[in-house]
Amino acid sequence: MTTGTRPTPAADRRSRPPRRAASPRPRKRSRRVLRQNYAGGAAAAAWLVVAAVPLYFVIGASLRTKADYLDAGPLAPPTHPVLSNYGTVFSSGFGHYLANNIIVTAAVVALVLGLAAPAAYAIVRSRSRLVSAGFSVMLMGLAIPAQATIIPVYLIITRLHLYDTLTAVVLPSVAFALPMSILVLTSTLRDIPAELYEAMTVDGANAARVFRTLVLPLTRPGLVTVGIYTALGAWNSFIFPLVLTQSDARRTLTLGLWNFQGQHGIDVPATMAAVVLSLLPLFGAYLVGRRHLLSGLTAGFSK
């Protein structure tokens, strides 16, 4: 019985006819149907009107004369824009109130950032129960409004002989801004990977160096967010300047606007000019920190 020799794989491949390359199947084109969101567009238009009408009223009224405002109505466009209202505002002591407000806001922001950042770093990196308990007590300040503590604050300020000073406005503003600031910065610090802390510790860095070279650069969005919102609260503060100051030389911008409105009760264009001038610094602060504002608010929610 004879057995045939099995062809080698190379000979077998030569003997087979070449295969044709399979033609690719035509892909089905996905058709995306764009549906018009009429409800969302209507809501956006309504919100635009709600936000734009007050700004239009404030800016438009500041460029009109008192007679034009009383004759044409509050929402009529200025027929002959004038800048005399801004001169009236500065001649009424507005610059002094603005300077006091800048001093108070800068001091509050500097103290809040200088205290909240190390406190948040200690809360995130420490495993002490005392630190955790202190953080819980600090968060209780979020539930206490400033109006409910105005009498104890007034007594403390008078006992410290700080009444009718800008320091009397700064200290309570810092105390009530710290809980929210520490909460935001704590969420921001928790986004930093633990491996970075361990790597710097292995390299021999102490806590101060880690905080200076690692924590501060990586928490810049959170710091900007805290700074903007703290500045907004200090800039618009009314209850503390009203209760803790008395002389006209120590009044801030909010009380200056209040006095200006009482002094010129029927001069609405001049009052609106003062409001426009008080909004410009906040608008500038927002333009500077708007890139970091959203990332700072959403810090900590990715985990």
Q: What is the pLDDT of residues 209-266, one digit of tens each?
A: 888 888 888 888 888 888 888 998 999 888 999 999 988 888 888 888 776 665 545 6
User: How far is residue 290 from each of residues 44, 64, 164, measured CA to CA in Å?
Assistant: 21, 32, 35
Please tell me whether residues 168 and 199 are part of one structural domain.
yes
Please tell me whether residues 209 and 260 are part of one structural domain.
yes
Contact criterion met (CB below 8 Å) for 165 and 250: yes
Q: Is 78 left (phi over 0), alpha (psi -120 to 50) or beta?
A: beta
pLDDT at 300: 47
pLDDT tens digits, 191-216: 888 888 888 888 777 888 888 888 88
In a domain, 7, yes or no: no
In a domain, 5, yes or no: no
pLDDT tens digits, 92-120: 888 888 899 999 999 999 999 999 999 99
Computed from CA positions of residues 182, 184, 185, 188, in that sequence, does the dihedral angle turn out positive or negative?
positive
In a domain, 38, yes or no: no
* Number of domains composing the chain: 2
Average pLDDT over residues 37-50: 86
pLDDT at 211: 85
| Domain closes at, from 82, 104, 134 | 82
Structural domain range at position 74: 50-82
Rounded Cα distance, 222 and 36, in Å: 37
What are 145's two structure tokens? 């409004």
Please tell me whether residues 56 and 140 are part of one structural domain.
no
In a domain, 31, yes or no: no
Please tell me whether residues 58 and 130 are part of one structural domain.
no
In a domain, 246, yes or no: yes
Rounded Cα distance, 166 and 164, in Å: 7
Q: Per-residue pLDDT for 28 more than 90?
A: no
Please tell me whether residues 74 and 129 are part of one structural domain.
no
Please tell me whether residues 209 and 247 are part of one structural domain.
yes
In a domain, 292, yes or no: yes
Name the burial class of residue 75, with classes exposed (0-12), middle (13-18) and buried (19+) by CB atoms within 10 angstroms of its CB: exposed
Please tell me whether residues 147 and 205 are part of one structural domain.
yes
Please tell me whether residues 209 and 265 are part of one structural domain.
yes
Average pLDDT over residues 62-86: 83
Q: What is the 3-state secondary structure (H, E, C) of the chain?
A: CCCCCCCCHHHHHHHCCCCCCCCCCCCCCCCCCCCCCHHHHHHHHHHHHHHHHHHHHHHHHHCCCHHHHHHHCCCCCCCCCCCHHHHHHHHCCHHHHHHHHHHHHHHHHHHHHHHHHHHHHHHHHCCCHHHHHHHHHHHHHHHCCHHHHHHHHHHHHHHCCCCCCHHHHHHHHHHHHHHHHHHHHHHHHCCCCHHHHHHHHHCCCCHHHHHHHHHHHHCHHHHHHHHHHHHHHHHCCCHHHHHHCCCHHHCCHHHHHHHHHHHCCCCHHHHHHHHHHHHHHHHHHHHHHHHHHHHHHCCCCCC
Rounded Cα distance, 202 and 81, in Å: 67
In a domain, 27, yes or no: no
Of residues 253 and 25, more confidence is placed in: 253
Please tell me whether residues 243 and 287 are part of one structural domain.
yes
Placement of tokens 């690719």 in the chain: 24
Please tell me whether residues 111 and 178 are part of one structural domain.
yes
Task: Express as a percent the part of the chain with pLDDT over 90.
Answer: 18
